[in-house]
Structure 1
Amino acid sequence: MTIFTDQLTTEVRLERMHPDEIDAAKARRPAIYLPFGALEWHGYHNPVGLDALKAHEQLVGLARRAGGVVYPPVYFGAGGGHTTWPHSFMVSADPMTQIVTELLQAFERDGYMQAILISGHYPNRSQYLDAGVRAYLEAGGTMRVLALVENQVDGVDGDHAAKYE
């Protein structure tokens, strides 16, 4: 059986890529995409990791069209008042702000020039994503960074735990 290289899909998920593939992807487009979400109750009809799964799939699709690589999903949620629901695990914003800042610094050191952060858990942006980006920039970060929640992406409407979840 013959396999033609134009039939192979280009891998964009960082954790599945070999170093030479990462270098080639970065040379074509030095962009990295970060999906965030919570592990939380979304009803019996959805998995608890839905927030990050949505964001991850959006970013994989973007990277396949525009280039760049997608960091593995970050499953930490802050805010939203979900701590009393079963199977919901939230953290405070302070350590997450630091993690976002340090990840952005590490990406810059590795040669990335753009980063897009998308959270499927809406409170993450106000709880720690914006603060992490701000701290990165205030510390002299030079990458172009955009942080959004998934319903801020054109063509995606918010509809918590129903049509889009």
Structure 2
Amino acid sequence: MTDTIWLQEMTWEEIKIKKDESFKTIILPFGSTEQHGPHLPLGTDTMVAMTLAEDAAIKANVPVAPPLWFGWSPHHMILPGTITIRPEILAEMAFDIISSLHQHGFDKFVLINGHRIVNIAWMQIAGERAKRELGIKLVIFDPA
């Protein structure tokens, strides 16, 4: 059995065990890839979400899904390296990730947003739909 909290580093057999140990709870970090001035890397927002997710996961003994490195960032497209996705795609991706994990038995989700308030509305849309259609429990944490 691996000591990692990261879903992508586990085998499917380890996921089955971790799902039960975590009372069917999983953390999903959301961020972006965008400019942060000349002093920070493009992945800063995602790294913030990952760090918060990792800390919480270790304390609560729950797994963390791979982070979503892309957010809605049209306001940063003036600078090179920024990648933006359409807000409806963000909402659909979030729902599909939740739906996939729910199909494997997870029913409690903690979404962590590292992209300030910009991703929140689309995460809320996905979360509301998942609650309504899948009957899951879901909370969104935004440190901003």
The answer on 1:66 being equivalent to 2:66 is no
Q: Deviations over 1:75-133 (max 9, x none)?
A: 1111462222222111111111111112111111111121111111120112x101111
Counterpart Cα distance in 2 of 1:81 and 1:148: 23
Is 2:109–2:139's contact at 8 Å kept on the other side of the alignment? yes
Q: Which residue of structure 2 aligns with residue 10 of structure 1? A: 3
Q: Deviations over 1:29-61 (max 9, x none)?
A: 111111111100012221101101110111111
Alignment: residue pair count: 142
Structure 2: tracts of 5 or more residues without a match: none
Q: Which residue of structure 1 aligns with residue 120 of structure 2? A: 125
Mapping for residues 3-152 of structure 1, pairs under 5 Å: 10-29=3-22, 30-79=24-73, 81-122=75-116, 123-126=118-121, 128-139=122-133, 141-151=134-144
Aligned partner letter, 2:111: L
Counterpart Cα distance in 1 of 2:42 and 2:30: 13
Is 2:131–2:137's contact at 8 Å kept on the other side of the alignment? no
Structure-2 change in CA distance of 1:92 and 1:83 (3 Å): same
Other structure's SS at 1:81 match? helix
Other structure's SS at 1:130 match? helix
Q: CA deviation at 1:20?
A: 2.4
Counterpart Cα distance in 1 of 2:96 and 2:2: 31
TM-score normalised by length of structure 1: 0.79
Q: Max radius of gyration: which structure?
A: 1
Is 1:125–1:148's contact at 8 Å kept on the other side of the alignment? no
Counterpart Cα distance in 1 of 2:74 and 2:109: 25
Counterpart Cα distance in 1 of 2:85 and 2:97: 18
Structure 1: tracts of 5 or more residues without a match: 1-7, 152-165
Counterpart Cα distance in 1 of 2:109 and 2:94: 11
Other structure's SS at 1:45 match? coil
TM-score normalised by length of structure 2: 0.90
Aligned partner letter, 2:120: R
Other structure's SS at 1:85 match? coil
